[in-house]
């Protein structure tokens, strides 16, 4: 059995289209019983919208990684050498979300997140492995990944 780690990082679509996808799944399944089997296509499209994700596979035995797009369970992407990304770090990012009402008044919220990220030699190329809300937990997991996969844990400093 291969020793492959799978890090699912992000959904392809934002929350609103994913909710629409879930609704399409339900509508398509209901339609199968009331209209006929051809309405299953609506559910299939809904599944595609709701469950398409990005991620990273790390093949420990062969020292390779693959950034992928998962569509209907198929992980599309190209393998590359894990040696191209020898470093791991925790990046602190402030995410901002703005919600606007019909009167165009906005409400903005900010929160800090901590991203465990692989870095190439000059730190210009980054690959997200995992995002966490707690700094201590992020550093602890980065240390574990560094030991497990042979990365050097560093402080991000491009150049």
**pLDDT confidence tier of residue 2, bands split at 50, 70 and 90:** low
Residue 43 C-alpha from the chain's centroid: 23
pLDDT digits (tens, 9 = 90+) for 18-63: 999 999 999 998 888 888 778 889 999 999 999 999 999 999 888 8
φ/ψ of 7, rounded to 5, equals -110, 105
Which SS3 state, helix, strand or coil, does residue 153 take? strand
Answer whether residue 7 is part of any domain.
yes
Q: What is the pLDDT of residue 159?
A: 66
Cα separations in angstroms, 17 against 22, 41, 78, 99, 123? 9, 17, 27, 16, 33
Domain that holds residue 37: 1-81
pLDDT on residue 1 = 45
Q: What percent of the chain has pLDDT over 70?
A: 97
* Dihedral (Cα; 143, 147, 149, 151), 10-degree rounding: 70
Give a yes or no: residue 14 inside a domain: yes
Is the dihedral angle over the CA atoms 137, 138, 143, 146 positive or is it negative?
Answer: positive
Q: Which of 47, 81, 115 is the last residue of a domain?
A: 81
The pTM of this model reads 0.76
Pick the last residue of a domain from 66, 81, 96: 81
> Which residue matches tokens 């990944």?
145
Report which secondary-structure segment, H or E, holds 24. Answer: helix 15-34
Same domain, 70 and 134: no
Q: Has residue 159 been placed in a domain? A: no
Using an 8 Å Cβ cutoff, are 68 and 90 in contact?
A: no
Q: Does one domain contain both 53 and 77? A: yes
Residues 37 and 100 in one domain: no
Q: Which two tokens stand for residue 91?
A: 């990046």
Phi, psi of 5 (to 5 degrees): -95, 135
* Domain closes at, from 31, 65, 81: 81
Structurally, the chain folds into a number of domains equal to 2
């Amino acid at each position: 059995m291969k020793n492959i780690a799978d890090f699912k990082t992000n959904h392809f679509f934002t929350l609103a289209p994913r909710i629409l996808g879930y609704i399409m799944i339900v509508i398509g399944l209901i339609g199968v019983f009331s209209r006929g089997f051809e309405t299953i296509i609506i559910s299939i499209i809904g599944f595609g919208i709701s469950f398409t994700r990005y991620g990273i596979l790390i093949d420990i035995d062969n020292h390779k990684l693959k950034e992928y797009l998962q569509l209907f369970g198929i992980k599309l992407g190209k393998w590359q050498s894990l040696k191209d990304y020898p470093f791991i770090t925790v990046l602190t990012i402030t995410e901002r979300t703005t919600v606007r009402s019909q009167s165009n008044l906005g409400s903005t919220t900010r929160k800090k997140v901590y991203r465990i990220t692989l870095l190439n030699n000059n730190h210009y190329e980054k690959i997200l492995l995992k995002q966490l809300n707690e700094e201590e937990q992020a550093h602890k997991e980065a240390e574990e990944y560094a030991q497990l996969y042979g990365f050097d844990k560093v402080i991000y400093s491009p150049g």
